[in-house]
Amino acid sequence: MNTIISDRVRKLVSATLIQPWTWPIITAPKIQLSSLSSEPVIASKKPFKVELVGGKRHSWCTCGHSKKQPFCDGTHKTKAQGLMPLRFVPEKDSKAWLCGCKYTANPPYCDGTHKQEFIQSALLPENTDS
């Protein structure tokens, strides 16, 4: 009896463990499905001083492509589909420094990240109408 169970277990184990590795392994080629960026571009190497209206919803550009920096103009829909604007509502009217490099750890507010070498040495995108 033990031999019969052992043979059945051995066959079951070898069928489930070995057989999948004997199948031909087919892997899809690695291709870039889109040239659209999911990483922000550096819009500015310094922050934007803005007047925020309390109770009003603001949309801070996270992609860096907006022509209305630091606010969103919808350009992410065509140039950076993986990114969405950060929407926020300040409690009261205030002046604020909003991040222009898009790499702040405290979005949408500037935290000084723009002073780092990787931001200061980066090339800014050319202003184009497309």
Q: Phi, psi (5° rounding) for residue 88?
A: -150, 155
| Average pLDDT for the chain | 81
Say which amino acid occupies 85: P
Strands 86-88 and 58-60: antiparallel
Ranges of residues in the chain with a pLDDT under 70 are 1-37, 127-130
| pTM, two decimal places | 0.69
Distance of CA 114 to the CA centre of its chain: 18
